Structures are given as structure tokens and as C-alpha cells.
Structure 1
Amino acid sequence: MKRSGAADLPLHYGYVPQWLADRMARLGLAVTEALLADYGRDEVLRRLSDPFWFQSFGAVMGMDWHSSGITTSVMGALKRAINPHSKELGIYICGGKGSASRQAPAEILKVCESTGLDGVELVRSSKLSAKVDNTVVQDGFQLYMHCFVLSREGQWTVIQQGMSTGNSTARRYHWHSAGLRSFVDDPHTAICGPNQGEILNLADHQADPARKGVLSLTREKPELMMQDAQQLLTQPPPRTQDAQQFLTLPAHHDVRAEDVDLRRLGAVLWLAHDRRPADFEELVLLEGVGPRTLQSLALVSEVIHGTPARFRDPARFAFAHGGKDGHPFPVPIDVYDETIAILQGAVHKAKVGESDKLDAMKKLSALAQRAEDSFAPTGRGLDEWIAREQADSWKYGGRTVFGKAKPPEAAVRSKQLRLF
């Protein structure tokens, strides 16, 4: 196994309203089932271990696209939705936030009782991953959330998050059992976050001499250790370079042009709102779906079928269902519900051998990618597009933590806005 990555996020307090939490659980289950149908359990765990995909997944669910709350809310929604169906799906989620994190070992052992997996070894993996991120890597973040996602085959992913109250940021750590050779020698698949200055990372491969030195100290005489310590106090510490890649998200709430890949976003919006059915025969099974719902479906489809390189701009996926704080626009409840219904219907039909609609979802993602080849964004229309989404939000049942969207006082502009 290895730690697959990490992310640094602005620390947000607050809550997830029930109207959003329920929808996040339903959409999370539908996306998981679609992933299982096309790619299997190992791929579900790999996706969860990718910090960029995880952030995009949270954004498409209607959470604040950049906030620390994505971690706890997404994992909470998935645990509520998946665990009642774990026997069928073969996926189990243990642990959680705060006191729930300390229940992970007992929950892992309970899963192992029914699956025959090695509970002792899996509990050890859970505890070690937390110990490494809390103690071996001393980067100023104190863990407060730990989730252990386990498959029927014994593969696992860990998603855990720490808080630094000093600079109001949270850091999320991802681990993946596939390919991990050591818990203390470059174990992470990724760590995401801004550079916080020099840190003590005894899990870095370059720290192997330091780890050996720590072990040797246990065999040294105390008086010799004190002499060496006095010498070290007069010498500058050696500089090391952290080789990990980080996902770092900005503090600003609004979505800006620099936060998204304009070509990819523009192609989705163009396909959804200006498409010509004669040119896209593959969409025939989605005929009757309104353009606004098609926009959301295209982004949800990419979360299911996109390759890792396509998740480097998580903010783009907020254009599926907005954000609970109103950025880039209020959550369109009616569109959200229709998206869930279409995806759930496609998944359920696939279970009985009718995979046409699930295949159509996959083709929708491919069509959006094809459209990118001929799409040339100018970068001037993003703010106008967001303004129109906000103005039209009331038409789709738009809602935020502050209340329901209302019609603008001025008449909504009727002229067609150019896409970028």
C-alpha cells in the first residue's frame, strides 16, 4: 500500500443542510454503483485514493468546491448510503469524524467477521496510517477524521484529515493498499496543500538515515547522546525537498477563470445547450432531457468515466450542481433530483441486463471530450455565464444554506450569451 496523495483546503466551519445531505447520499450511491458496474471494486478504491478525483466528486455533489467540509460530508454521505448495501456491493466504510474515527478498529473487525478477512492486519493498517500522518509526518496538522474503506477482497483506501488552527487550513491525506511496500518509506499516494515551510517528514524516502538514527539512539548511552545534541544545536539543519505532489485550493469562494480548464468547461456547456441531435446520434437515449440537466449529466459522467488527468481543476465540477454557499451558483434542486433519477434508473436497468442508458452516460462523457478538440474559449464569458446561472437559479429550485433562490427584480435578459 502507499499514501496516494493529500490536499490542503481552506478550513470551513458550518453544516450540511439535510436537503443537501440526502441528495449527496443518493448521488454518491448511484455514482458508486455505476463505477462498480463498469470498472469494479478496485477502481472505486483507486478513485477514492486520488485527491483530485475526490475533490471533483465532492464538487459535483453540490458541496463548496474548495472547502475542507468536502472530506467529512462526502465520506459521511457515502457511509450512510453504501453500508446498508455493503453485502451486495462488497464495499465497507469504517470510521468517520471525531469520535466516529475511534470506532474504525471495531467496525473493521465486525466486517472481517462476515467476510473472513484478516481483521488484525487490517486494523494494524488503519492504526499505522493514522499514526504516520499524525506523528511520523509532523506538519502541524492534527487528525480529526479517519475513514477506512475496505473491499470484499481485502483491498483498502484511507481518507483522513487534519486541522491546523494556526492558519485556518485542513490537510487531507489519502492512502491506498495497492502497491504499498512500507508504512514509513514514501507510503503516500499523494498529499495536497500549500507549502507550509519546513516540516519533519520521517516517512520520506530521503529520511531513511534519520529513521535508522532514531533507532540507534535507543541503544546509545545517555551521556553520549547529550554530547551529540549539544553539537547539533550549533549547526544549521540540512534542507530537504518534499517530493510529494500537493493539491492546493485557494481561499476565495467564487469560481474564477484561473480555477477551471475553460476549454473543457466550455465544451460541456456548448454540448448541453447548443448541441445538434443530428450531429450526436449517441445522445438519442437521452433525448427529452433538458439542456440544464444535460449539463449536470455530462459532468457526472466525467466523474464516472474520466481519466485521472481530467480532474486537475475540481472547480469545474461545481458547474453540475453549484454549491451550498451559492458559488458558483445555488444548488439547482430540480436539476439535481432529475440527474439522480436518470443515473439511478440507468444503474438499475443495467443490473437486469439493460445497459443502454448506462452506456449512453459513458458516451456523453466521450462526446464532451471530442467537442474539446474544436472548442476555442476566449475566457471572457465565464463571469457572464455564472451571472446567468445565478439569475436563473430560481427556475430550477435553487437553494443555499441561506435559503431559496428568488427571481431577480429586473427581467432576466433574453439575449443569448456567448460561451466564453
Structure 2
Amino acid sequence: MPKRTGVADLPLHTGTVPRWLADRMRDLGRLIAESIVENYGKKEFLVRLSDPLWFQSFGAVLGMDWHSSGITTSVMYALKCALNPIANEFGIYVCGGRGKFSRETPAELLQIADRTGVDGNMLSMTSRLCAKVDNTAVQDGFQLYQHNFIVTDEGDWAVVQQGMNVSERAARRYHWCSSNLRSFVENPHTAVVGENCGDILNLTDGRADKTRNSILELSHENPDRMMREIRQMVNPSSSVVVPSQLDLFNPPPAPVDLSRFSHDPILVNSSRDCIMPRHHEVLPEDVDLKRLGAVLATAYESNPKSFENLLLTPGLGPRTLQSLTLVSEVINGTPSRFRDPARYSFAHGGKDGHPFPVPCRIYDESIRILGDSIEKAKLGDRDKLECLNRLHTTQLAVEEFCEPLADFDKTLEHEKSHSKEWGGRTVGD
């Protein structure tokens, strides 16, 4: 059964993704999706997409700005361009998009139903319900402007949609998954990602069942009678006592002391919700320095020859291993690994130069090596893919037994000093 799995609050950023990055995001996004499906199956890929923290980390490893609202649009567009051309054999379709493209989702789902035999009418209704819940039943000040519906040829689905609050300059991303949803109108979400903007009207709260039933009953009442009663309720001289409905409004959460989160700067609750900070640059407190240290130790302190033999890739250098280790973690990591999405920007940087320009030559090497491993796996030779997966295992071992701590400033200095050598580019180039 389906369930809304999370919500993310993000600073609202404007701008475009340059073609040189968009093409790389498409190619690496497809390969990561294929690797997850190859290792864990199609349902697991939908579960990953429905985790707001994994999604944020995925966008960061693709070279997008690690925390901005633009990750949602750019990542989903990249996946749509990457997966739909191979959907007949891959079995995963991406529908919808931003603005007018979101309204094309029902028609796209009916076309997919004709090709695969899934219930297109049910999926179209599900798409509309997910949008209605987040836009109407939950009135939190964010108006939906993007809706993506991801569906497999077996009928499993996930939804990633985003709303905008212009006055607060903030975006809120909502995640759904067909696993474990029991009701669209009572506690359907497992997580929502966004910044608290005050009181909200939440008719999906479990405590609002009486109010939902009352609204349903009111819809059947005689309009003249309803108008008479409303006039009585708003008349100050009326003796009618109006029952309080304040319990429908969720009070803002108490302020959280960020200093308590030495390695978890992103606010997260048990439902995988998260709140991304406003600052654009990557700061030391945004990153779990122990985990980043394990990545760097895996890449730079191990014997390069052993990894060269392991991956069967002549000339593979430490910097490419750094990227591949983070890519391997995105493919194989458990949910607890993604509480600091900023760390994944140390794979391929960010288009705005935070934490450093996108190293295009390293990015291309990551695509080439991962692509080659997947192609060999399709032919029955899984050795190279398993070697890439073991990069994450190696990282975990280093993290557990060596407890390395990254020097944040020296790491950034190293990246920037080699940026030209590695083909570093930003959106302004």
C-alpha cells in the first residue's frame, strides 16, 4: 500500500542548468538507477526516490547545488530524459514535470498502461490524489508547481512533487511511495521536506477525522440552511457557541539548538523529513567529517595499484576513486548514511562552485567506469560491478577501525588547486 514518505524544505533558488552539466546528470543518473535496479530491484529504486534525504544526496552527487530547490526540477528532468528512452526494457517510467508538464501526467500514465497492462485509470486517480492532498488537504502556504509520477511496469509507483512559497522564498518537496500507504486522507506522509512557516491547516492529521466527516456531511446540506447558520456564527450578538477548531492547526515546533547536531546539521525527524539551511556555501558543520575522512582515506591512502587491479581500469587515480566511493555509497548505503547531503557534493562539486567547481574530467571518468561495470554485469560478468560496490564496504571498514577525520579546509584547498587540471567548470563558464 502507498504512503507519503517525506517532506523537504529548501531555499528557493533561481537559475538554469548548463547543457554540459545536464547531459552528465542524465548519464550518471541513468547509471546509478540501473545499478540500484541491478543490485536491489525496481521497487528499491522507488523507495530511494521517496526518501527526501537520499534524493538530496543523489542530486548532490550529480553536481547540483547541494541544498537548493533546483535539485528537484533538475534531477527529475534528468531522470525523465535518462530512463524514458530505455523504459521498455528497463521497466521504469517518469511522468509529469514542472508547470504545464505536470498536467500531462494522467495522459502519460494512460499511454504507459496501453504498453504495459498496468491499471492506467487507477494510477491517474492516484496522481491526482497525491497532488490534491499536498495542495489542498494540507494548506501549508506552499502551492504545487511540479509533479512527477514514477511508475514501474509492475504498477509500483512513487511521487516527487514540489510547492513554492514566494513570500518566504522557500520550496517544499513532498515524497510518496506505493509501499505501506493505507489512506490518502489520514496520515499519508512518511516525510515532508521544508522550513516551518507557521501554523498550517492539516486535514490529513489523524486527529482531524471528525472534521473530515463533518465537512462531508456539510456538503450534503441544504445551502439555504447552511447560509442561515453561517450568518448566526459570524454575528457578534448571536448566542450560538462556535466550537473551537484550533486543534486542526499544528503549532510550530520549538526552536532546535543546532549545536547539538555535531554530525547531523540537517534537521530530521523519525519520518525522514529534513530542513535544509539557507546558506549556499558548504560549511564544515554541514558535513560528517568522519565519514568524509573515510572517503578520502579510501581514495588517497590505500595502495592505488590494488584499486587499479580491483576495478580493472588502467590509470585510475585517487580523485576518481573519491567520486566513485561516494557514488557507491549512494547506490549501496542505508538510510542513516544520508543525513548530511552536503558530503556528496565532494564527488563532483556544484554548478555554482560550492564546495568547488564541477571537475568534468573526473565526472566523465565516473560515468565511463560505472557504465562499463553495468554493461559487463548485463552480460553476466558482475566482477567489476561488485568491485565498485565493495568501495562502500571498504569505506565503512576505514570509518569503523581508523576513525579518520577530514581536514575540511585542506580538502577544499586541494580541490580548488587542482580544479583547472580536472576540468573544473561552473554555471558561469
Q: TM-score, normalised by structure 1?
A: 0.91
What is the CA-CA distance between 1:257 and the residue it aligns to?
A: 1.6
CA distance in 2, matches of 1:356, 1:73: 32
Query: Share of identical aligned residues, percent?
Result: 54
| Change over 3 Å in CA distance of 1:226–1:219 after alignment to 2 | farther
Q: Is the 8 A contact 1:285 1:360 kept in 2?
A: no
CA distance in 1, matches of 2:245, 2:39: 54
Partner of 1:367: 394
CA distance in 2, matches of 1:175, 1:255: 28
Q: Name the aligned partner's letter for residue 322 of structure 1.
A: G
Secondary structure of residue in 2 paired with 1:150: strand
Partner of 1:401: 427
1:261 alignment partner, one of 285, 288, 304: 288
Q: Name the aligned partner's letter for residue 10 of structure 1.
A: P
Partner of 1:94: 95
What is the CA-CA distance between 1:276 and the residue it aligns to?
A: 3.1
Q: Is the 8 A contact 1:21 1:77 kept in 2?
A: yes
1:22-41 superposed matches below 5 A: 22-41=23-42
Coordinate RMSD, CA, aligned: 2.1
Partner of 2:379: 352
Deviations along 1:336-391, one digit per CA (max 9) or x if unpaired, are 00000000000000000011110001100111011101343556x20221122112
1:127-146 superposed matches below 5 A: 127-146=128-147
Partner of 2:278: 251
Partner of 2:316: 289
Q: Name the aligned partner's letter for residue 90 of structure 2.
A: L
CA distance in 1, matches of 2:231, 2:341: 50
Q: Which runs of 5+ in 1 are unaligned?
A: 404-420
Secondary structure of residue in 2 paired with 1:195: coil
Deviations along 1:205-259, one digit per CA (max 9) or x if unpaired, are 2221221121222345312344456667796823546896521111111111211
CA distance in 1, matches of 2:120, 2:176: 18
Q: Which runs of 5+ in 2 are unaligned?
A: 253-268
Q: Is the 8 A contact 2:200 2:250 kept in 1?
A: no
Q: TM-score, normalised by structure 2?
A: 0.89
| Change over 3 Å in CA distance of 1:304–1:229 after alignment to 2 | farther
Q: Is the 8 A contact 1:137 1:203 kept in 2?
A: yes
| Change over 3 Å in CA distance of 1:43–1:160 after alignment to 2 | same
Secondary structure of residue in 1 paired with 2:246: coil
Secondary structure of residue in 2 paired with 1:196: coil
Q: Is the 8 A contact 1:159 1:175 kept in 2?
A: yes
Deviates more, 1:188-197 or 1:37-46: 188-197
Deviates more, 1:173-182 or 1:381-390: 381-390
| Change over 3 Å in CA distance of 1:232–1:215 after alignment to 2 | farther
Deviations along 1:11-31, one digit per CA (max 9) or x if unpaired, are 010000000000000001111
| Change over 3 Å in CA distance of 1:281–1:97 after alignment to 2 | closer
Secondary structure of residue in 1 paired with 2:151: strand
What is the CA-CA distance between 1:179 and the residue it aligns to?
A: 1.3
2:356 alignment partner, one of 308, 329, 337: 329
1:217-236 superposed matches below 5 A: 217-220=218-221, 221-222=225-226, 223-228=228-233
CA distance in 2, matches of 1:93, 1:155: 12
| Change over 3 Å in CA distance of 1:232–1:318 after alignment to 2 | farther
Partner of 1:304: 331
1:164-175 superposed matches below 5 A: 164-175=165-176
2:299 alignment partner, one of 252, 259, 272: 272
Partner of 1:209: 210
Size of the aligned set, in residue pairs, is 402
| Change over 3 Å in CA distance of 1:321–1:232 after alignment to 2 | farther
CA distance in 2, matches of 1:334, 1:284: 18
Q: Is the 8 A contact 2:293 2:405 kept in 1?
A: no
Q: Is the 8 A contact 2:282 2:355 kept in 1?
A: yes
Secondary structure of residue in 1 paired with 2:6: strand
| Change over 3 Å in CA distance of 1:304–1:284 after alignment to 2 | closer
| Change over 3 Å in CA distance of 1:234–1:34 after alignment to 2 | closer
Partner of 1:109: 110
CA distance in 1, matches of 2:405, 2:85: 47
What is the CA-CA distance between 1:165 and the residue it aligns to?
A: 0.3
Partner of 1:409: none
What is the CA-CA distance between 1:287 and the residue it aligns to?
A: 6.3
CA distance in 1, matches of 2:62, 2:142: 26
The yes-or-no answer on 1:157 pairing with 2:158 is yes
Q: Is the 8 A contact 2:51 2:272 kept in 1?
A: no
Q: Is the 8 A contact 2:6 2:189 kept in 1?
A: yes
Secondary structure of residue in 2 paired with 1:393: coil
Partner of 1:82: 83
| Change over 3 Å in CA distance of 1:281–1:399 after alignment to 2 | closer
